[in-house]
Structure 1
Amino acid sequence: MLLFTLRRLIQSLFVLLAVSIVVFLAVYAVGDPVELLVSPESTVQDRLDLIAHLGLNQPIWKQYLIFLWGALHGDLGNSFVYSTPAIDLIISRMPATFELVVVAIFLTCAIGIPLGLVAGLYRDRVLGRGIMATSVLGYSLPNFWQGMMLILMFAVWLGWLPASGRGDTVSVLGVPLSIFTASGWRHIAMPAVNLALGNIALVLRLTAAGVAEAQSQEYVKFARAKGLRPGRIVRRHILRNILIPVVTVVGMEFGGLIAYSTITETVFAWPGMGKLLIDSVYQLDRPVVVAYVMLATLIFVVVNFVVDLLYAALDPRVQLAAATQ
């Protein structure tokens, strides 16, 4: 287990280094933020002073080394627009994104796994086929279109839910959270559902496929021959054995939702990290964009690292396979 953990840790560090190079070069090669930051009345000297102040007069390789050295010390640069540390800006928006993603993942598991079980157990009946057919919508509908339709239905036509914002928050250990207020739940309902729909369909179909495969296995047939109750067979033999791929996918999607919740946050004006990223791209605020991508990559890598460990703990064959490579 120790060797498996060390190998995954080294791979994760290489991923972070590769992403830092690609993102830094890609972001710093596009656009000129000085054009947006400098005043039209500014002189040439004022422009040159701003370029020097932002460090843009250095060769790009030197800018990257400065960035890398700062990143190793927890400094991802200062925002061009707000003149504050980019990491502080992102962290201030992180609670909103995290609670949105947590609620979306909860909905994914609470809805996707039970429906997948039903669809797998009754795959040859109308109920199972209907669930599987409906799940296709989760893949087919664009995320931004879903969001606009939710706003049109529940905010404009019915007037049940607010169309934007985060609602009232309460401080929990110094972190502002909206899920502990009634107003917060009304605001988070639509963006969380919008973020979860695609993943519900994914987990549903994955669970249904796992159930269908497990039912044909010898251990399930033997359990039935022993006269075990159907509910016990599902809980102890089928569900337990299909949880490994489900845990893997849910873990990966958790990291993915944190990194790529930008569309949902933009549609619902949710004040999270994704909304900050879109605003920073429009303003060519390079340090914030790079810091966001690096932080999102770090979260994604850590989540996948933890999932790999859980995967190896649930299935020791993974450790053996890694040891022979």
Structure 2
Amino acid sequence: MLLYIMQRLMQSIGVLLAVSVAVFLAVYAVGNPVDLLISPEATQAERQQMIARLGLDQPVWSQYLTFLWNALHGDLGTSFVHGQPALSLIVSRMPATFELVVCALLLASLIGIPIGLWVGLNDGSFGSRAVMTGSILGYSIPSFWKGMVLILVLAVWLNWLPASGRGETVPVLGIPLSFLTLDGLRHLTMPVINLAIPNIALMIRLTAAGASEAVHQDYVKFARAKGVRNQRIVRRHILRNILIPIVTVLGVEFGSLIAFSTITETVFAWPGMGKLLITSIYQLDRPVVVAYVLLVTFIFVMVNLLVDFTYAALDPRVKLTERMS
């Protein structure tokens, strides 16, 4: 177990290093932030002073080595636009994004897994075929279009929910949360639904496929032959055996939603990390973009590691040390 953890940590360091090089070079190649940060009427001396202050007068390899050295000491740079550490700026937006993602995955699991289980146990029926067809539609529709339709229907036509913002929050251990207030919950509803729809479809299809396959396995037939109640068979034999792929997808989707919730956050003006990223890209705020990508990559790596540990907890046959071979 210890050797496996050490190997994964070394792989994670290599991934972070490779991502930092790729992102740093990509961001460096796109535009000149000085053009946006300084007035067009500024003199050449003022322009050169700004370039030197931001460290942009150094060659790209020198800028990267400086960034890498500072990153090893916990400093991912200072935002060109906001004038504060990029990491602290992103972390300040993290609770909003995490709340949105966790609520979306929770909603997707509560709706998608039971429906998918029903579809898998009733494979071939008209209802199951209709649900599977609808799941394809839910997974295929673009997020920005779904968001605009939700705003049009629920905010403009029916005037049930607010169209943007986070609403009132309540601090819990210093972390502002929206779902604990009625106003915050109303603001949270549409972004969560928009983010959850494709994941509900994914959970339905994944659970249905697993249940449809598991119901024909010998251990299920043997349990039925022994007279075990159907509810117990579904709960103990079918659902438990299809949890591993479900946990895998939930783990991957958690990291994906954190990284790619930018569209939903932009459509609903949700003040999370994704909206900050889009704004920073428009403003060519290089430190924030690089810090965001590295932080999201780190979250991906940690989530995958936790998923591996969850494998072993759900199925004792899964041995983490076997992956060393």
State the TM bucket, normalised to the shorter chain.
over 0.9
The whole-number CA distance in structure 2 between the counterparts of 1:10 and 1:217 is 40
Q: How many pairs does the alignment contain?
A: 324
Q: Which amino acid aligns with 2:205?
A: R
Identity fraction in percent: 67
The whole-number CA distance in structure 2 between the counterparts of 1:8 and 1:216 is 37
The whole-number CA distance in structure 1 between the counterparts of 2:225 and 2:198 is 38
Pairing 1:1-325 to 2, within 5 Å after superposition: 1-315=1-315, 316-319=317-320, 321-323=322-324, 325=325
Off by >6 Å, runs of 4+ in structure 1: none
Structure 2, unaligned stretches of length 5 or more?
Answer: none
1:320, distance to aligned residue in structure 2 (A): 5.4
Q: Which moved more, 1:8-17 or 1:100-109?
A: 8-17
Query: Can you list the C-alpha shifts for 1:89-137, whole angstroms capped at 9, x where unaligned?
Result: 1111111111001100101110110011011011121221121111111
Q: Which amino acid aligns with 1:238?
A: I
The whole-number CA distance in structure 2 between the counterparts of 1:244 and 1:8 is 20
The whole-number CA distance in structure 2 between the counterparts of 1:74 and 1:188 is 33
SS at match of 1:192: helix
Distance 1:293 1:153, change over 3 A: same
1:275, distance to aligned residue in structure 2 (A): 0.4
The whole-number CA distance in structure 1 between the counterparts of 2:119 and 2:6 is 40
Contact persistence 2:169–2:180 (CA under 8 A) = yes
1:8, distance to aligned residue in structure 2 (A): 2.0
SS at match of 1:176: strand
Q: Which amino acid aligns with 1:24?
A: F
SS at match of 2:176: strand
Structure 1, unaligned stretches of length 5 or more?
Answer: none
Query: Can you list the C-alpha shifts for 1:177-226, whole angstroms capped at 9, x where unaligned?
Result: 11110001100100001011111111110100000110111100000000
The alignment's C-alpha RMSD in Å is: 1.1
Contact persistence 1:105–1:250 (CA under 8 A) = yes
Contact persistence 2:139–2:201 (CA under 8 A) = yes
The whole-number CA distance in structure 2 between the counterparts of 1:287 and 1:313 is 39
Query: Can you list the C-alpha shifts for 1:43-89, whole angstroms capped at 9, x where unaligned?
Result: 10100000000000111111111111111111110010111111111
The whole-number CA distance in structure 2 between the counterparts of 1:87 and 1:254 is 20
Contact persistence 1:5–1:309 (CA under 8 A) = no
The whole-number CA distance in structure 2 between the counterparts of 1:252 and 1:261 is 14
TM-score of the two chains, using structure 2 as the length reference: 0.97
TM-score of the two chains, using structure 1 as the length reference: 0.97
